[in-house]
Amino acid sequence: MPDLGWSVGGHHFTSRLIVGTGKYASLDVMRAAHEASGAEMVTVAIRRIHLDDPSGKTLLDHIDRARYRILPNTAGCFTAKDAILTAQLAREALQTDLIKLEVIGDERCTLMRRKRRPPPMRLSKTGSPCCPTLETTPFCASASRRSAAPP
């Protein structure tokens, strides 16, 4: 059976790989990695976009936006409130309806907070499709699935 790709929020993709923008040795290395990956979506931490660069350029200026759909993420947010605000700002600033929500509870290992209802389900009630970041532990996956269940 042929692979028909996947869709989220009305956007269709043939590549299942989503690449990031962090931890590259340089912007040139990042661009080369994006090109070599075959990905169609690039996730960008909104809090890493420095608007005060003297050159006037931001990280987004180094991503071919005609080729890649930008998936803004809320990396660096420690509360659901901060993540939702950051997501809403990203949605407006980047004119996108795709958001990758992340709420971390530990600075050292960036594990998600486990005690509250995950913010992706709250933001989705505003009508925005979102891609939650989940830990790979069965506990967190189960909790997120339960919170996404219809009332």
Q: Catalytic pick from 23, 57, 81, 100?
A: 100
- Residue 140: what pLDDT? 53
* Alpha helices for the chain (secondary structure H): 27-37, 80-94, 119-124, 138-148
23 noted as active-site residue: no
If phi > 0 it is left, if psi is from -120 to 50 it is alpha, else beta; for residue 115 that is alpha
Q: Which residues pair with 43 in a beta bridge?
A: 71
- Residue 151: what pLDDT? 42
- Residue 47: what pLDDT? 87
- Residue 20: what pLDDT? 94
The Cα 58–Cα 51 span in angstroms is 6
6-148: CATH topology: TIM Barrel (3.20.20)
11 class by beta-carbon count within 10 Å (0-12 exposed, 13-18 middle, 19+ buried): middle
- Residue 150: what pLDDT? 46
Going residue by residue through the chain (151 aa), what tens digit of pLDDT does each one get? Answer: 667 889 888 889 999 999 999 889 999 999 999 999 999 999 999 988 887 777 878 899 999 999 999 999 988 888 888 888 998 899 888 988 888 888 776 665 555 555 544 555 555 555 665 555 555 445 555 555 555 544 4
pTM for the full predicted model: 0.74
